[in-house]
């Protein structure tokens, strides 16, 4: 009787790495937007991936290696690393590393499809980057991660990544004040003969109390004087 073929357990998958091709660019861009959608909502830093223009430029750079990780032909991971700090928007000072005898491999992007996270794809990618670093004579993997990307940060820390002397974002609250001043009470306008008149514009003046009885009395006195 022929031996029955052992079926593969459904969760046993094989991930393969290869260099990116021009024909992969559009779907890789869509893949990156999907992976970073939730991460971006929470970070103050530049958004990942930065821009499609930059992403397409990267493909032509000889200093940058873009690798795709696939399971059955579908992209499940992407890594991007640079052997030089190139471009006008890079975030490092190469002299800082030179002074310390470090030759870094800059890990610009590391992304695993949400459905495949926690299954070892990221570890495979990191092994691949370590391998590349060794074969190219680099001494360190260097990367930037948002401090509040807690799951990624914890993931790096358990893999012996440590913090470099780098910038952190600080903010100080400025006491709140409205731009516009509060309303201001207007002066009564002076008439030519020295009497005050009611203002013609602006808020109503405060109520002026008039002694009605006294006024009537003085008018009566004046009328009497006039008639006498
Ligand atoms: C960070 C990231 C690259 C890790 O890749 P991954 O394939 O999930 O990692 P792995 O499967 O190799 O490692 C699994 C480990 O991470 C932990 N882990 C991290 N995120 C996890 C998640 N979302 N689901 C399950 N496990 C997770 C597991 O507990 C496991 O721990 P262990 O190594 O002690 O067993 C991936 O989660 C990711 O792409 N995140 C979104 C994008 C991002 O933030 N990238 C980094 C920006 S710089």
Cα of 22 vs centre of ligand 1, distance in Å, is: 28
Cα of 120 vs centre of ligand 1, distance in Å, is: 8
Cα of 39 vs centre of ligand 1, distance in Å, is: 13
Say what the pLDDT of residue 219 is.
43
In DSSP notation, 4-59 reads PPPPPPTT----EEEE--GGGHHHHHHHHHHHHHHHHHT-SS--SS--HHHHHHHH
Cα of 2 vs centre of ligand 1, distance in Å, is: 42
Phi-psi region of 107 (alpha: psi -120 to 50; beta: other; left: phi over 0): beta
- Taking residues 175-204, report their average pLDDT: 75
Stated pTM of the model: 0.74
Cα of 155 vs centre of ligand 1, distance in Å, is: 6
For residues 129 and 109, give the distance between their C-alpha atoms in angstroms, rounded to a whole number: 11
pLDDT at 1 over 60: no
Residue at 144 is within a domain: yes
Question: Which residue's CA is the nearest one to ligand 1's atom 24?
Answer: 118
For residues 180 and 189, give the distance between their C-alpha atoms in angstroms, rounded to a whole number: 25
Say what the pLDDT of residue 11 is.
63
Work out the end-to-end distance of the chain between its first and last CA atoms, rounded to an integer number of angstroms. 148
Tokens matching residue 195: 């009497």
Helix (H, G, I), strand (E, B) or coil at 226: helix
Ligand 1 site-directed mutation target among 36, 142, 151, most atoms within 8 Å of CB: 151
Pocket of ligand 1 (CB under 6 A): 35, 39, 110-112, 117-123, 143, 145, 149, 151-152, 155, 158
Share of the chain above pLDDT 70, in %: 76
Phi and psi at residue 5, to the nearest 5°: -70, 130
Q: What is the mean pLDDT of the chain?
A: 82
Phi and psi at residue 16, to the nearest 5°: -120, 145
Q: How many domains does the chain have?
A: 1
Cα of 28 vs centre of ligand 1, distance in Å, is: 19
Residue at 228 is within a domain: no
Is the pLDDT higher at 195 or at 124? Answer: 124
For residues 197 and 10, give the distance between their C-alpha atoms in angstroms, rounded to a whole number: 93
CB 70 within 8 A of CB 31: no
Which domain does 149 fall in, by range?
Answer: 16-157
Residue at 6 is within a domain: no
Say what the pLDDT of residue 206 is.
46
Residue at 70 is within a domain: yes
Is the pLDDT higher at 78 or at 46? Answer: 78
CATH code: domain of residue 98: 3.40.630.30
For residues 78 and 68, give the distance between their C-alpha atoms in angstroms, rounded to a whole number: 5
Say what the pLDDT of residue 37 is.
87
What ligand 1 atom has the least distance to the C-alpha of 121? 7
Say what the pLDDT of residue 4 is.
60
- Sign of the Cα pseudo-torsion (86, 91, 93, 94, in order): negative
pLDDT at 70 over 80: yes
pLDDT at 147 over 70: yes
Ligand 1 site-directed mutation target among 39, 43, 119, 155, most atoms within 8 Å of CB: 155
Residue at 42 is within a domain: yes
What ligand 1 atom has the least distance to the C-alpha of 107? 48
Q: What is the pLDDT of residues 5-16, one digit of tens each?
A: 666 555 678 999
pLDDT at 201 over 80: no
Confidence of residue 39 (pLDDT cuts 50, 70, 90): confident
CB 108 within 8 A of CB 64: yes
Cα of 86 vs centre of ligand 1, distance in Å, is: 28
Say what the pLDDT of residue 217 is.
41
pLDDT at 40 over 80: no
Is the pLDDT higher at 83 or at 217? Answer: 83
């Amino acid at each position: 009787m022929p031996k029955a073929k052992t079926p593969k357990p459904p969760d046993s998958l094989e991930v393969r790495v290869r260099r990116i091709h021009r024909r992969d660019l559009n779907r890789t861009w869509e893949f990156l937007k999907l992976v970073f959608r939730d991460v971006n909502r929470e970070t103050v830093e530049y958004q990942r991936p930065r821009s499609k223009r930059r992403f397409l430029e990267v493909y032509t750079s000889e200093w940058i290696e873009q690798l795709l990780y696939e399971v059955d032909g579908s992209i499940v991971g992407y890594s991007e690393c640079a052997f030089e700090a190139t471009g006008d928007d890079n975030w490092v000072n190469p002299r800082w590393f030179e002074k310390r005898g470090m030759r870094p491999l800059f890990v610009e992007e590391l992304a695993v499809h949400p459905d495949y996270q926690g299954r070892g794809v990221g570890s495979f990618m990191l092994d691949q980057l370590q391998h590349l670093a060794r074969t190219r004579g680099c001494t360190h993997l260097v990367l930037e991660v948002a401090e509040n990307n807690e799951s990624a940060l914890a993931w790096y820390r358990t893999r012996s990544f440590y913090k470099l002397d780098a910038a952190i974002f600080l903010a100080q609250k400025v006491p709140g004040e409205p731009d516009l001043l509060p309303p201001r009470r207007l002066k009564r306008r002076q008439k030519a003969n020295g009497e005050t008149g009611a203002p013609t514009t602006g808020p109503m003046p405060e109520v002026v109390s008039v002694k009605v009885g006294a006024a009537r009395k003085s008018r009566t006195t004046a009328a009497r004087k006039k008639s006498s």
